[in-house]
Amino acid sequence: MTDTSGTTPTVIGRRTVLIATGATAVSLAVAAAPEAPTAEAAEPAPVAAAAVCTLTKEMTEGPYYLDGQLVRADVSEDKTGIPLELTLTVVDDSTCAPLDSALVEIWHCDALGEYSGFVGNNGHDEPDNGTFLRGGVLTGSDGVARITTVYPGWYRGRCVHIHVKVHTDVTLTDDGSFTGGQELHTGQLFFDETITTRVAALATYAANTVPRTTLAQDGIYDDGGAASGLLTLTALGSSTSAGYAGTLTLGVDG
């Protein structure tokens, strides 16, 4: 909102969405806003500032969420698949400030498209302990959460994705889980189709007998890029099997 009465400075109060990936999430745009001199004031008005940050789209929780998962940095357990190292930065969309001590929780299917707690729903038989590829970590003062997992597979009707929630004010429990708090964001993380095609050709993933749905075919991903959860992926080595690092900034309504 702009107030032009008297000598009040012009303030850009409406936030603009800026797609931002990686660990650097905050950008400040500053511009001079001089006013015509008057008999009372010959100095220019103060500088106006606009905070510009990412607002990440909310998406469905889906049918495979389980309460009470472990707070841990590595959720891979013994699941086969190529490494995936996630760096997710959480910022408050109203101030662009990083959120400290926010719990970033993820859950996703394995290479065969099976979720822990629901094994068999994608047509494959394997052990189910109810915890693999589930869990989360608290952000640091920089708003960053780092989680190690494996590159997901796929299940019928959905492209490759990871579910994510952001909670604040949680209480850590003696059993390594968490309780309470406020849920600020529920979304999904998506993967570049070119890279997924390479991963899908590896033997571990090719064993998945269900036809793969692409990003373009998916009914939830809306081609919105980072604002809709599309990760920036960087190879961890010279071959696909070495895995990937995935980065994204999550702008939440804090």
pLDDT, tens digit, for every residue of 165-217?
999 999 999 999 999 999 999 999 999 999 999 999 999 999 999 999 999 99
Position 42 scores a pLDDT of 38
pLDDT band per the 50, 70, 90 thresholds, residue 96: confident
Please state the pTM of the whole predicted model. Answer: 0.80
Return the SS3 of 91: strand
- Cite the DSSP H helix spans in the chain: 193-200, 203-206
pLDDT band per the 50, 70, 90 thresholds, residue 28: very low
Chain centroid to CA 50: 24
C-alpha distances in angstroms, 68 versus 63, 71, 134, 176, 227? 16, 9, 10, 9, 28
